[in-house]
Amino acid sequence: MTDQESPAFSWTCPQCGRHVPNKFPACRCGRARPETPEPAPVETVAEVQAPPVRRNVRSVLTTAGVALAAALGTFVWMNNRATAPATMAPASGTRGGPVLVVPRPAPDQPPPEPPPDAAADAKEPPESPPDPPASLEDLISHAMPAVVRVETGGGFGSGFFVTPDTILTNVHVVGGNGSVTIRRPDGSTVPGRVETTAPELDIAIVRISNADPHQATLPMGSGTHARAGQEVVALGTPLGLQNTVTRGIVSAVRLVGAVTLVQTDAAINPGNSGGPLIDRAGDVVGITTMSMRSAVAQGLSFAIAIDHARALLDGKRPGQGAGTPIASLNEAMSGAAPSQSDALREQGTRAYEQGIVALARRADALDDYWSNFKRVCYEGRIVGTFGREWFALWDSRAMRGVVSPGCLQTFADIRRVAEDIRNTAASLEEAARRSDVYPGARRDLLRRYRLDYPGWNR
């Protein structure tokens, strides 16, 4: 028996048989220490171990320290094993009042989860990835209930709801009629009143009474901001086949007369007129109006930019007597007259060339001035290849020489003239872009007159 198992230091639990230090009134299993008669006084460690003549003080202190450390370690170990809060329970027949009862963990109970890391809690949750775009099937299924067939006594076409009581279509679909029949995708019909017609835009506004507040509508986007190559879908009633879909891309955005047209290669057939041309976001970019059908013209279809319809709904319309988009487009395609956008581009190209020619004359004069300056006032070399050597003024790494002190004013005059040429070139470039002058045409003119410096706009 070890010293710690001696009755002087511990007692035996009658329930689990463990040896429990005397300082603990209860076992780990929860059993309180049974009543025992007052123990007889025992000799101290010092009296037992010390020799009769001389006590070893260091030995006494060492033994007492070991016993105290063992008791403290046992206490800490027992408390760390606890899996539930300790409770105080009365223990009859024991001294010292209530007994600290530490519940034992169940054999199959998993160890307690460690506390979460505070640093991890402080981190913001990761952002969820953006929602993927809707599939083409979902896009069409949401848009189709807003597309209708517009019927008159002389024919039919397409239209679409932009509000529960407002339908947009073409003027050449409603003709001169004051009322039309609106046939929904489910076959039901409702009368419509032609409220506004704008032949110069080929846009008609039809209103219906007793509108269904749950009627599906299409949001209006922008046709003027459509981009070539952008995917679009045309919905309508081609050749009387209601609920028909064709798909294509935006081929170009053209200004014909006062009307902006969205050109597309999506199939547009008789009966599609007045229907919506929508983008992949489900927004209307145009009202389909015409298609060129001939042996030499394939995939040439056009829609009126929805921006015109939005302005018309707000009470704004272009000047009267401007013709119709169909007539203007036919005239432009027949070669009788160029389209307005082509005319503006041609005019802008001529103006750009005239400006470049005048600028080149000033640059030639500065070339001569620069040659004299370099021979008399500049010591060193110029690194790099430039269309005109004084372009090096704008490259801090090119001029590796020094200017003579007596020529500083002359050098400042050269820089001032060069900056003026640079600002003029930048203005010409901006005006050419606004006139939609082709970048290749601008580049060819700059090279022809030795003004092709890439830093004009910096």
Tell me what pLDDT residue 248 has.
93
Strands (E), 319-400: 378-379
With CA atoms as reference, report the closest residue to 9 among 53, 51, 63, 49.
Answer: 63
Measured between alpha carbons, how far is 302 from 286 in angstroms, rounded to an integer? 9
Query: Do the beta carbons of residue 288 and residue 329 sit within 8 Å?
Result: no
Percent of the chain with pLDDT over 70: 69
Tell me what pLDDT residue 387 has.
80
Tell me what pLDDT residue 451 has.
87
Query: Do the beta carbons of residue 238 and residue 272 sit within 8 Å?
Result: yes
Which of the following is catalytic: 10, 202, 279, 301?
202
Tell me what pLDDT residue 340 has.
66
Least confident among 200-209, 274-283, 374-383:
374-383
Tell me what pLDDT residue 65 has.
60
- pLDDT surpasses 60 at 170: yes
- pLDDT surpasses 60 at 48: no
The more confident residue out of 278 and 329 is 278
3-state secondary structure at position 304: strand
Q: Which residue has the tokens 């300056």?
A: 373
Tell me what pLDDT residue 174 has.
92
Tell me what pLDDT residue 73 has.
61
Backbone dihedral region of 136: left (phi > 0), alpha (psi from -120 to 50 degrees) or beta?
Answer: alpha
Tell me what pLDDT residue 324 has.
59
Measured between alpha carbons, how far is 291 from 251 in angstroms, rounded to an integer? 13
Confidence at 263, pLDDT banded by 50, 70, 90? very high
Tell me what pLDDT residue 450 has.
85
Average pLDDT over residues 267-281: 90
Residue 202 annotated as catalytic: yes
Domain ranges for the chain, please list them. Answer: 3-101, 136-334, 340-448
- pLDDT surpasses 70 at 310: yes
Tell me what pLDDT residue 110 has.
55
- pLDDT surpasses 50 at 92: no
CATH 3.40.50.1000 fits 136-334, yes or no: no
Contacts of 444 (CB under 8 A, 6+ apart): none
Tell me what pLDDT residue 125 has.
56
Tell me what pLDDT residue 404 has.
87
- pLDDT surpasses 80 at 78: no
Least confident among 243-252, 357-366, 443-452:
443-452
Whole-Å CA distances, 347 to 180, 223, 255, 337, 407? 45, 25, 15, 14, 44
Which of the following is catalytic: 10, 158, 251, 273?
273
Q: What are the pLDDT digits (tens) for 374-410?
A: 888 888 888 877 788 888 888 878 888 888 888 888 8
Percent of the chain with pLDDT over 90: 26
Confidence at 297, pLDDT banded by 50, 70, 90? low
Whole-Å CA distances, 280 to 242, 438, 453? 21, 29, 40
Mean pLDDT of the chain: 77
Query: Do the beta carbons of residue 289 and residue 300 sit within 8 Å?
Result: no
Confidence at 269, pLDDT banded by 50, 70, 90? confident
Which of the following is catalytic: 10, 172, 251, 328?
172
CB atoms within 10 A of CB 446: 22
What's phi and psi for 160, nearest 5 deg? -155, 150
Least confident among 247-251, 325-329, 361-365, 380-384:
325-329
Global confidence as pTM = 0.47
CB atoms within 10 A of CB 30: 16
The more confident residue out of 247 and 6 is 247
Contacts of 440 (CB under 8 A, 6+ apart): none
What's phi and psi for 445, nearest 5 deg? -65, -40
- pLDDT surpasses 60 at 60: no
- pLDDT surpasses 50 at 84: no
